[in-house]
Amino acid sequence: MSVIFAIALNTWKQFVRDRIFYIVLIAALLLLGFSYFLATLTIIESRKILLDFAFGAVSLAGGMMAIFVGIVAVAKEIELKTIYTVITKPVSRSGYLAGKLLGCFAVLAVGHLLLTLTIRLILLISGEAAPAGFYACSLLILMESTILLGVASFFSVFSSSILASGLTLAFFLIGRSNHALLTMSEKGVTAEVRSIARGLYYFFPNLERFNIRDVVAYERPYPPEMITWGLIYMLAYVAFSYAAACLVFQRRDLP
């Protein structure tokens, strides 16, 4: 475990020094600033517009951060051959991946925390109170991003950084529109199409289960068990992604 935490700490330091990570974070903060400007253009339901746009920006930024750190943490080290400085030491490949995943999650969680506090600050400046479900919404967005982090880590162990980014982005987009697969699985033209759509629906992550942005923005009630089931779903999907990544990485001959 000490080796895993050492790799996680080194991963954290790597991204703290990485300027690209700060560029992504600054871009997200600018989006939040724009959401405040957008809300000031209207008197009616300004807080609803602010929250809806701001949480949407956090979700998008979180997805991009997850893809970035998940790909760079492993794929870039393989491409630059800096991975040899780690795996030549007494550490298993599964331990290496666990450390990388843990370090990336720490970076992602801190990024989400900064963005959430920024929204809270904007609400204070606007003289608005945080609605019920504010922090629950932020936590669910972090869970969504963590799933993408697991997917990115899986693709990064056997493909180039560009290809892994494209594949993870595809998972992100399909996961956001997973309801279309559900509709196709129920109303497909043939039984074969319905079976394939049903299989894809369960294979791709259902990211819409983490979306309560509209509910919170318009102060409507949401099922409190969404947090519990969302956490279980996230842990299961990340564990599956990690196990698959370990299986592939163990069999890969590094160049």
**Total tally of structural domains belonging to the chain:** 1
CB 99 within 8 A of CB 93: no
Q: Domain limits at 220?
A: 2-251
108 Cβ neighbours under 8 A, 6+ residues apart: 62, 65, 66, 69, 142, 145, 146, 149
Mean pLDDT of the chain, nearest integer: 82
Choice between 151 and 217, residue whose per-residue pLDDT is larger: 151
CB 151 within 8 A of CB 238: no
Pick from 91-100, 117-126, 133-142, 183-192: least confident = 183-192
Q: What is the pLDDT of residue 188?
A: 64
Res 38 pLDDT > 70: no
Q: What is the pLDDT of residue 39?
A: 62
Give 74-112 pLDDT, tens digit per residue. Answer: 877 777 777 777 766 777 888 888 989 999 999 899 889
If you average pLDDT over residues 153-180, what whole number do you get? 87
